[in-house]
Amino acid sequence: QKEVEQNSGPLSVPEGAIASLNCTYSDRVSQSFFWYRQYSGKSPELIMSIYSNGDKEDGRFTAQLNKASQYVSLLIRDSQPSDSATYLCAVNGNNFNKFYFGSGTKLNVKP
Amino acid sequence: DAEITQSPRHKITETGRQVTLACHQTWNHNNMFWYRQDLGHGLRLIHYSYGVHDTNKGEVSDGYSVSRSNTEDLPLTLESAASSQTSVYFCASSYDRSNTEAFFGQGTRLTVV
């Protein structure tokens, strides 16, 4: 079983819609959770981090964490074509010095 | 500004040759990581280090080695390059505490022919 699972997509949404990206993880004692955005040919860049259960909002982005269900999600409101990228979910495990990444979900926002 | 840089950005090498990819960070992070990224596999951990003279194997370490002689650098060596090692390689670093993210270099695209 992979440490971090994501639907590979592609997820297609129209401009202005809400994009919902999901991630599950296997290590129940994981402490820190991250969403990275990666444009084609570029390196991953951090867009959100979340450390406790509930929602965390930053502009158009909302991260949601449910440790009981081992589930992390990212909502992108008012999606823009510039949001088209691959979104990587990352988990910092029990040993907080190691990051596990999902395979990423490709998001296409259509104008 | 602090940063993490990789070199070269692109490399073509022949099967069987030894190749070294450089990674240099100026954040004074103790933790450094090497990942490879292939279509359908996401980022897979090759080797990682928690400090000077410390190195550890990740999930796909066969055929790779690293050494950590100072805080700033973690070079990745392919002992005898194979076509299966054609990939994009990312170096990352982080603070050695909880609730901290990993920062990535620009990546190195390696082609083994």
Tens digit of each residue's pLDDT (9 = 90 or more) over A27-78:
888 889 999 999 999 999 999 999 999 999 999 999 999 999 999 999 999 9
Residue A44 to residue B96, Cβ atoms within 8 A: no
In what helix (H) or strand (E) does residue A22 lie, and over which residues does it extend? strand A19-25
Locus of tokens 């990789």: B6
Q: Which region, left, alpha or beta, applies to residue A74 given φ > 0 means left and ψ of -120 to 50 means alpha?
A: beta
Chain A residues within 8 Å of chain B (Cβ atoms): 6, 8, 31-32, 34, 42-46, 49, 51, 88, 90, 92, 96-104
Among A32, A43, A90, select the one facing B98 at the smallest CB separation.
Answer: A32
Q: Please say whether the beta carbons of B97 and A96 come within 8 A.
A: yes
Q: Please say whether the beta carbons of A92 and B98 come within 8 A.
A: yes
- Residues of chain B positioned with their CB less than 8 A from the CB of A96: 97-99
Phi, psi of A7, deg, nearest 5: -75, 130
Q: Inform me whether the C-beta atom of residue B97 falls under 8 Å from chain A C-beta atoms.
A: yes
What confidence score (pLDDT) does residue A94 get? Answer: 61
H-state helical runs in A1-111: none
Locus of tokens 């909880």: B98
Q: Please say whether the beta carbons of B51 and B67 come within 8 A.
A: no
Q: Please say whether the beta carbons of A68 and A85 come within 8 A.
A: no
Interface subset of B 50-89, CB within 8 angstroms of A? 50
Q: Which two structure tokens, joined as six digits, stand for A85?
A: 């990228």
What confidence score (pLDDT) does residue A28 get? Answer: 82
What confidence score (pLDDT) does residue A103 get? Answer: 92
SS3 B83: helix
Residue A102 to residue B42, Cβ atoms within 8 A: yes
Per-residue pLDDT of chain B (113 residues; tens, 9 = 90+): 769 999 999 999 999 999 999 999 999 999 999 999 998 778 999 999 999 999 999 999 999 999 999 999 999 999 999 999 999 999 999 987 777 889 999 999 999 99
Tens of pLDDT, residues A82-110: 999 999 999 987 665 788 999 999 999 99
What confidence score (pLDDT) does residue A30 get? Answer: 83
Q: Inform me whether the C-beta atom of residue B96 falls under 8 Å from chain A C-beta atoms.
A: yes
- Residues of chain B positioned with their CB less than 8 A from the CB of A8: 40
Residue B43 to residue A88, Cβ atoms within 8 A: yes
CA distance A25 to chain B (A): 15
